[in-house]
Every structure is written in structure tokens, then in C-alpha cells.
Structure 1
Amino acid sequence: MLETFVAPADDASGEESWTRREILQQPATLRATQAMLMATRDAIDAFVAPLLAQRDLRIMLCGAGTSAFIGECLAPWLTATLGRPVEAVATTDIVGAPHLWLDAARPTLMVSFGRSGSSPESITAVDLADARLASVHHLVITCNAEGALSKRTATNVHVVQLPEATHDRAFAMTSSFSAMMLAALSIFTGIDTMDERVEAIGESVAAIIAEADGTAATLAARDFERVVYLGSGVFQGLAREAALKLLELTDGAIPTAFDSALGFRHGPKTIVTPRTLVVVFVSNDPLTRLYDLDIIAELRADGNAAAVLAITTQDDAGESLRVAGAAGFVDADLLFPYIVPAQLFGLHCSLRLGRTPDRPNASGTVNRVVQGVRIHALAA
């Protein structure tokens, strides 16, 4: 169980923190996750394939916090890939207003992401779907074999149990985020197909870890007062996750924001000050990339931001962190190396501010597995 683990104390470089270990282990955990999927693909396909044969099937990608942002990253890509709507709906939204999100008339596949698989909203969202939907199936993707969701044994449930190493001990989700995202991407785009891509993805993650660690430390030392992450398409969800990582690991000391490259001009751009860092995740899609490069050029020409950093695969974005060898990647595969610089930056900012990365919230008001949620009964 989680409570039996005691995270090592941080030293000045963060070398001993679970947070750092779990960021650095992602090449290995991504490969281990795909290997597990290959070993169990017959059972997964037997559950998923008949559901996907239903053309009116509603697919919902569900989770809370970082787990919800997995859905936000993948929903646009899977919608295009599967040729049918795939929706990202946070469990916190479902629990708060089930009448708005659960459609009893439509057969539904609810994909539940959960590092612990025991958050109150995750459990309640599944219970609500079972109670309110005439036809619902649950694909649970979880890192914790002892979690409540992993214990579900009903005939309408299939649990994908990820390798134990993905069950992050630290407060902030890092390798659990990337592993659950890879699992869903693999399942819905073809486990065999992903098996041909995962080695290159793992290599790209390893390469950006080596490249980004020093850059992240240097940026953290500049003591930015605000940080903005921008991304288009699948990267808007990633920008939201990147912003949350910094907020979590600094215990809210550095305010963050996220947006799309085009949306940022419509008001949110006013957040930029001379002590603001703006990070842009640059798409490999030729058209989308042009809009990403436009906002980078505009922000630099404005001269208002302290720094504008591109996370990219090519050499046409000026000051940047480049993911070598990934110029041919589809954007969905870039999600995995692109999140690493944001994770490392959050870690180094946490250390710079004197926080303990594995337990950044010293007051105890924010917890690794959410607490204090009261589940209210539905009105009759």
C-alpha cells in the first residue's frame, strides 16, 4: 500500500526525491506499460472491440486533476483517429452535475484514469453511470492494484493494471500521467501499432531528460513571478497539465496559466509581465505549427515577457528546447517528451523555493489522494 513507502529526503539537487526518480524513470515505465499491454492485448481487445463496433457508442475519458488532463490531451486526437466523437469529461464535473453529463439514451464507454483509483469522485462517477445509464461499460486504467476501481469485478468492467513502478509515490503525478496516457493511446489506436512506436518515444523522452534538466535549473534560478504554457490541438491539454505541475510543486508560489496559441491573444495575453516566462509546445502538424510560431514571434517582438521558450522538434523557433529525432513524430507521440521539461522545471522551482518536492504543501490542505469531498445524494 502507498502508506508503507517513505520518500527519501531531498538534498539540494533533488537527486533523492521520489519526484525526480519518477520523472527520470519515464523511458522505462513507458516501455514497461506497452509490454504489459502487449501481454494482455487479447483480453483488452475482447472487451473493447465489440463496444467500438457500436457506431452510436459514446466514449468518455474521465479522471480528476492530472488524470482528467490525460483525456484533454487525447480526446481531439482519438476523435480524429476513430472517426467518432471522444469526449474528455472530468469526474469532478460528472459528480457535481450528473444530469448535464450522463445521457441515459446513449450506450457509453467510460474510460476512468486513476493513479490511486480511490479518489471519491472517480468512484462516484462510476457509480452514477451504473445507476443512470441503461448501457454502460467501464475501462479502468490505473496504477494501483489496491485501489477501489481496480477491485471492480462486474461484467461491464475491464481493469488495465499498469506496472507497479507507475504508481508514483510523490505528490505530483509524473510517470503515472505518461503511462496512463500511453495505455489509452495504445488501446484505442492499436496496441500492435503502438508497439512499433514506443521505442522511439522512449528514446525521445530519455534524450529530452538529458537536454532539459540543466535548462530547467537555469530557468528556475531566474525567479519568474508568473509562467504561462501554450499549446495547440493535443498540446492545449498538455499546457494545462504543465501549468498544474508548477502550481503543485511550488505550493502555489508561482501563479500559472495555460491557453492555445490562437486563444491567448483574446484577453489572456494580458497576464504577461517583464517577469513572466511563456513556454510554447510547438506542433509537428505543418498548419498548426505556423500558428505556434506566429505567437512565439509576436511575444518576442512585444518585448514584454522575460523569456519565451519553444519546446519543439525543429530549429525554426529561436530559443528552444529541441526534441532530437522527433521531427517525424505525430503530435500524439510528442506528448510524452514534451511534458518532461515542464515536470523538471516544476521540480527545480520547488527546490529553488525551499519546498520539499514530494510533499510541497506543508499545510496539509492539499493531499496526494484528495480528501474532504462530501458526496451528496441525488434528489429523488
Structure 2
Amino acid sequence: MTTFTAEEINAQPEIWRDWAALLAAQSEEIRNWIAMRAPREIWLSGAGTSAYLGEVLTRQLGGKLKAWPTTDLVAAPDLAFGANGPILSLQFGRSGDSSESVGLLDMLDAHRPDIDRLNITCNATSTLGQRKGPGPGETRALILPEATHDRGFAMTSSFTTMYLSALACLDPSFDPVAVLPRLAAAAETLLPQLWSIDDRPPTRAIFLGSGALTGIARESALKVLELTAGRTITQWDSSLGFRHGPKAAVDDGTAVFVMISPDQQVARYDLDLASEIRRQFPAASVVTIGSGCDIDLTPTGTPADPALFVLPAQVMAHRWSEALGLPVDDPFAGRNLTRVVSGVKLYGWEA
């Protein structure tokens, strides 16, 4: 079956390679602007998959970055809006038009017009792509290639390319021209292997990772949950955190995927957990993901690597959705979940 989702998964290496030079030029200008504006905090915001970008980047780069999902900020603005000093609100959005994306812009206009904005979106004509704040805060927008504006229900190329683009804007040591072709080559080797794996959808799937890969585990779990329309129940956690209660979810029908960090210090904990689960649950499936693992990938040794680690779940989610007889590009057939969240009732807030 040919689907938009499969095309978008497979297009990622070419998208990254083609985007590298233009991203390098645009991200340098944005980095210089950020340095000039000197924010004390940088809020990384989005909803769902776009929010997980903030989690991955915060764990990858640390420093002044704070992951604040738009769903948190719009519902409970007191959590962050009282922060003092110069702030940059960096908002992600595939469509750039979801209810909470627009809602956060409205709240910034009304209550914190001093906050600078950087909007990273796959949709040039969207609210995030077009709208300017009233000032004195300044606004910049980074528009990704049109090919990243996924037509399928699930975010795939949009997730990885927004991640890599934000990385270039926030990390002065990250060189897209040097790294993205290497990342693309690694993905081109990995993707055919993933499509060739022949297995059936499990009743439960658990994704585990450490550091920045904890956020990738969360995104992986969501991809499977979405594309199987909830028929495969998913869970995610960190490798060390999993023992503290969440391991209760493992049964004989569970597939457990452990991402083995490229960092050798961190990897020891990941490998210990994989061995423990195999020993304690011999009937469960335990699959490691990483260099020399059950799913073998070749990390670049750079902060770009989380984009590789999410590919297995993207492909498995697609294959399992097909095996369940679901329409992969719209597993819910527009009934109760839709590609773009809209029509959410938002309430006014008195600061």
C-alpha cells in the first residue's frame, strides 16, 4: 500500500540533505538575533509531538531552555508568565494553526508583549508563519521545506526536521552542512532494514530511553498509539525510571524497545535494563535500538542522533496500522481525533 505517511517517512533523508545549506544560513542569522536579544529563558512550546521536541532539546542542550507545552501555558499561564527578564518563546507547529498555538500567541499579545518570539513551522501560510507580535518583543519565523508539512495524520518528517532546525538555531556548535548529510546516509541504511522486519502488532508496546532519548521514547510511544488507533497500548519511560513502578505493565504479549544511548556511560544503564527485562519476562519481546543492537543504526556522534532513534517507531507504527487493516493516513477516519486540533474552547485569563 502506498500512503502519504510512508512517503513522508522515507523522504526524511533527502529532506535533511537538501535543507542543510539553507538551514545553515538561516539559523546563523537567528542565532545572532538570539545572542543580541540575550534571553534569560527560552521557552520551547508546542502541543503533542511538537511539545516533545521541547523535551528532547531541553535534555540535549540544557542551559536556559525550558520545555513548556502550549497545552500547559494556555491552561495554566501562571506557571510561567510571571517570569522576569528577557524571554524568548520558541513555538513549534506542523500546521501552525492549532487552537493552542494561536491561543498562546493571543496570551503573549495581551499579557507579555515584551517576550520575543521564534516560530518554527512547516506551513508558510499559517498563523505561526505569518503573525507578528505587537511589540516591543520581536518576532522571527523559520519556515521549513514544504515537504515537511506532512499530509498524513502522524507527524514524521515534520518532527525530525523541526528538531534538527531548532538544534541549528540553538546550538552554535551544530553545523547542518557537516552533519545532515551524514545523518541522511545513516537513515538511508536504516530505513530499508526497518521496512523489511516482519512482525505482528503487539497488544502492548513500551519504549524506553535515557537523557534526550527519553523524549524520543515518548514520541515513539505516541506514534504507535496514534497509527494503531489505540489498539496497541503504549507506554514510555526512562531506563532507570522504568523500574520504579511502570515495569508493572509488562506481560507476555508486550514488546519492549530499549534505546541504547550513544553515550557509553548512559548506555550501561540501558543495557542493564534490557538484560533485566529479558531475564524477568522471558515470554516478552525485548528489542534494543542503537549501534550494534537488534535494530542496528549508526549514530553520527552529534546532537542530531535523536532523529535516527525515532525512525523505528515511525516505520513500526505504519506497518502495524496496515496489519490491523486501518487507513494509515487517517486511522480514526476523522471521527474523534483529527490531524489538526481545532475548535478548542479557550478561556480568558486575568494576570
- TM class by shorter chain equals over 0.9
Does the aligned pair in 2 maintain the 1:75–1:87 contact within 8 Å?
Answer: yes
Structure 2 counterpart of 1:36: 22
Equivalent residues in 2 for 1:310-325, closer than 5 Å: 310-314=288-292, 317=293, 320-324=294-298
Structure 2 counterpart of 1:196: 178
1:71 to 44, 51, 54: 54
Partner-residue secondary structure (3-state), 2:270: helix
Structure 1 counterpart of 2:64: 85
| Alignment partner of 1:60 is 2:51 | no
Unaligned runs of 5+ in 2: none
Does the aligned pair in 2 maintain the 1:47–1:158 contact within 8 Å?
Answer: no
> What is the CA–CA distance in structure 1 between the aligned matches of 2:305 and 2:144, rounded to whole Å?
21
Partner-residue secondary structure (3-state), 2:91: strand
Structure 2 counterpart of 1:293: 271
- With 163-172 and 206-215 compared, the bigger mean Cα shift is at 206-215
Once the two structures are superposed, residues 190-230 of structure 1 have per-residue CA deviations (whole angstroms, 9 ceiling, x without a partner) of: 38623211111111111110221112xx23x2x31100000
Does the aligned pair in 2 maintain the 1:273–1:304 contact within 8 Å?
Answer: no
State, as a whole percentage, how many aligned pairs show the same letter.
38
Does the aligned pair in 2 maintain the 1:144–1:167 contact within 8 Å?
Answer: yes
- Cα deviation, residue 129, structure 1: 2.5
Equivalent residues in 2 for 1:1-380, closer than 5 Å: 11=1, 16-41=2-27, 43-51=29-37, 53-54=38-39, 57-79=40-62, 84-133=63-112, 135-154=114-133, 156-190=138-172, 193-215=175-197, 218-219=198-199, 221=200, 223-314=201-292, 317=293, 320-324=294-298, 326=299, 329-330=301-302, 332-362=303-333, 364-379=335-350
Does the aligned pair in 1 maintain the 2:28–2:169 contact within 8 Å?
Answer: no
Which AA in structure 1 matches 2:158?
Answer: S
Partner-residue secondary structure (3-state), 1:229: strand
- Cα deviation, residue 149, structure 1: 1.1
- Cα deviation, residue 104, structure 1: 4.2
Once the two structures are superposed, residues 221-267 of structure 1 have per-residue CA deviations (whole angstroms, 9 ceiling, x without a partner) of: 2x311000001000010000000000110111110000000000000
Does the aligned pair in 1 maintain the 2:206–2:256 contact within 8 Å?
Answer: yes
Q: How many residues align?
A: 348
> What is the CA–CA distance in structure 2 between the aligned matches of 1:103 and 1:50, rounded to whole Å?
23
- With 86-95 and 354-363 compared, the bigger mean Cα shift is at 354-363
> What is the CA–CA distance in structure 1 between the aligned matches of 2:98 and 2:67, rounded to whole Å?
18
> What is the CA–CA distance in structure 1 between the aligned matches of 2:306 and 2:86, rounded to whole Å?
30
- Cα deviation, residue 186, structure 1: 1.0
Partner-residue secondary structure (3-state), 2:229: coil
Structure 2 counterpart of 1:4: none
- Cα deviation, residue 174, structure 1: 0.2
Partner-residue secondary structure (3-state), 1:196: helix
> What is the CA–CA distance in structure 1 between the aligned matches of 2:58 and 2:144, rounded to whole Å?
21
Once the two structures are superposed, residues 87-108 of structure 1 have per-residue CA deviations (whole angstroms, 9 ceiling, x without a partner) of: 1110000000001122342321
> What is the CA–CA distance in structure 1 between the aligned matches of 2:328 and 2:269, rounded to whole Å?
35
Partner-residue secondary structure (3-state), 2:305: helix
> What is the CA–CA distance in structure 2 between the aligned matches of 1:186 and 1:42, rounded to whole Å?
8
Which AA in structure 1 matches 2:261?
Answer: S
Does the aligned pair in 1 maintain the 2:213–2:259 contact within 8 Å?
Answer: yes
> What is the CA–CA distance in structure 2 between the aligned matches of 1:279 and 1:192, rounded to whole Å?
28
Which AA in structure 1 matches 2:106?
Answer: D
Tell me the TM-score normalized by structure 2: 0.95
Which AA in structure 2 matches 1:172?
Answer: A
- Cα deviation, residue 44, structure 1: 2.1
- Cα deviation, residue 29, structure 1: 1.3
Which AA in structure 2 matches 1:77?
Answer: Q
- Cα deviation, residue 133, structure 1: 2.7
- Cα deviation, residue 189, structure 1: 1.2
Unaligned runs of 5+ in 1: 1-10
Which AA in structure 2 matches 1:228?
Answer: I
CA RMSD of aligned residues (A): 1.7
Distance 1:305 1:151, change over 3 A: farther
Tell me the TM-score normalized by structure 1: 0.88
Distance 1:359 1:179, change over 3 A: same
- Cα deviation, residue 36, structure 1: 2.3
Does the aligned pair in 1 maintain the 2:74–2:100 contact within 8 Å?
Answer: yes
Does the aligned pair in 1 maintain the 2:54–2:67 contact within 8 Å?
Answer: yes
